[in-house]
Amino acid sequence: MPSVAFKTIGCRLNQSETAAIAAAFSCAGFSLVDFSGPADSYVIHTCCVTARAEQTCRRTARAVRLRAPRAVIALAGCAVQTAPDRTALAAAARVDIVADQQTKTDLPRAVLQALGLPVPAPSGKRIAPVFDSVRALLKVQDGCDFGCRYCIVPRARGPARSRPMNEVLNEAGTLAREGYTEFVVTGANLGCYEDGRHRLPELLEALAGMDCIRRIRLSSIECSTVEREVVDLMAASSKICRFLHLPLQSGDDGILLRMGRRYTAAQFEAAIAYAARRLPGAGIGSDVITGLPGEDDAAFARTEALIGRLPLSNLHVFPFSPRPGTAAAEMENAPPESVRTERAAHLSLLGGRKREEFARSRLGQAVTVLVERTSHGTASGWSGEYLETQVNDPSLHVNDITEAIVTEVRGDALHAAGPRTVLRSMSA
């Protein structure tokens, strides 16, 4: 039986697609093995959002080639899709196969052919994704029509499109019966999910109404889509984790307008205030890009001031990375790379302080934790607010969901005692 190992670089959408590709390899007769060990073949699922991510993809492939010179190595996904010369990419990364968004689903056949092994006839049936954790990433949407001027996602993933709601619900039911406890609903522009008259709030409500589903988490949602309706649904449902991620990118109206964003700083702040009011104690995350073209000291100061006012628990900060083929890559007045990096480091420190402050606010409060690991009487996992949590209770098992009281905070990590209540997975 040939073996295959996977490495995913990038977003949760990439991770969900890797799980689907892994299932196809398993169906084709491959054994799935750890990426750090020996394998007959390796698949690196790539990201192109930043230059650093692309470099990581190539560097990872070259490192695998050094330790496994005879293995079949494939690059797949976004960085292949946007590469101007795929032959040059394959040579630079020292890989045997490059597969774009359309051909990556047929990777088992390509790898078997490269290994000189027979290719089985397609079964024709849908295969449930294979995840390497207790949570399942439920891809419901792909592509984006927003056209933000710094973003390469539309080129990498194409126009917005959504999966039929019945198909999503059927897959969720199958995965729940296989034992997955938490479902992360994800997409390239999740807030634009639409199947006829059904939008994201209707999909979430249907998922929450399924008895077999224990917990639902959302990936990021763009401000100006359905964020307030989602907040209302979070407030009404005990199954949906109280963590909302709304990308900001800049707190300066001039930069937001220049980059093609669909809101002002004031509108973004109002959306966050609405979430904080409707969901007391909820985790709220955001993304910021420093050094976008036109960001002078005053624009950066406005971004910093806005972040300082927002009740954020999680902040991802990225220095601007010009992406070939985007409008922003051709714009003038981008700050020097050193300035972008310095500003990013400054905001990252601010985000870290806000995260620790949010963690301290949980002291004495009840949190709900999905157990991912157990060791010596301690269970570890993530709270619904997206804080790493340890629960001191030897009765807990992996895949349990427990409610416990926070007794100590160390940095941004919670320590809790309990459990008060426990939910087992459907397969327990």
Residue 380 tokens read as: 């570890």
**89 with 151, same domain?**
no
Residue 73 has a pLDDT of: 98
Alpha helix ranges (H) inside 134-189:
153-157, 165-177
**Which of the 8 DSSP states describes residue 384?**
T
Residue 323, in any domain of the structure:
yes
Task: Tell me: do 355 and 375 sit in the same domain.
Answer: no
Print the domain residue range for 407.
366-423
- What number of CA atoms fall less than 13 Å from residue 350's CA on the CB side? 22
CATH of the domain at 405: 2.40.50.140
Residue 328, number of CB atoms within 10 A of its CB: 22
Q: How far apart are CA 238 and CA 230, in angstroms?
A: 13
Dihedral sign for Cα atoms in the order 393, 396, 398, 400:
negative
Nearest to 35, CA basis, from 69, 61, 1: 61
Query: Where do runs of H (alpha helix) occur along 293-390?
Result: 297-309, 337-361
* Same domain membership, residue 180 and residue 57: no
Residue 256 lies in a domain: yes
**Any domain includes 123:** no
Which value, to the nearest 10 degrees, does the dihedral of the CA atoms of residues 354, 358, 359, 364 take? 150
Residue 320 to residues 28, 213, 293, 337, Cα–Cα distance (Å)? 41, 39, 8, 8
Q: Looking at the structure, tell me whether residues 221 and 292 fall in a common domain.
A: yes
384 shares its domain with 353: no
| Residue 111 contacts residue 41 (beta carbons within 8 Å) | yes
Residue 122 domain-assigned? no
CATH of the domain at 45: 3.40.50.2300
Are both 338 and 387 inside the same structural domain?
A: no
DSSP per-residue string spanning 91-104? HHHT-SEEE-TTTG
The SS3 of residue 234 is helix
Residue 428 lies in a domain: no
411: number of Cβ within 10 Å: 11
Is 280 found in the same domain as 163?
A: yes
**Residue 419, preceding bond cis, omega within 30 degrees?**
yes
Assess whether 51 and 165 both reside in one domain. Answer: no
Asked if residue 124 is part of any domain, the answer here is no
Same domain, 231 and 194: yes
Mark whether 221 and 340 lie in a shared domain: yes
Which of 59, 82, 115 marks a domain boundary?
Answer: 115
Domain boundary among 64, 85, 115: 115
Quick one: 236 exposed, middle or buried, by C-beta within 10 A (0-12, 13-18, 19+)?
A: exposed
Q: What pLDDT does residue 215 have? A: 96
Which tokens in the block code for residue 48? Answer: 């192109």
Same domain, 226 and 287: yes
- Residue 427's pLDDT is 53
Torsion on CA atoms 184, 104, 149, 344, rounded to nearest 10: 60
User: How many structural domains comprise the chain?
Assistant: 3
Q: Is residue 121 part of a domain?
A: no
Residue 280 lies in a domain: yes
CA distances to 8, 52, 86 from 59, in Å? 13, 10, 16
Same domain, 61 and 155: no
Encode burial over 48-79: b for 16+ CB neighbours within 10 A, e otherwise.
bbbeebbebbbebbeebbeebeebbbbbbbbb
Domain ends where: 67, 87, 115? 115
Tell me if 297 sits within 8 A of 252, measured CB to CB. no
CATH, residue 336: 3.80.30.20
Q: What residues of the chain score a pLDDT lower than 50?
A: none
Quick check: 302 and 265 in contact, CB under 8 A? yes
Residue 223 to residue 268: CA distance in whole angstroms: 7
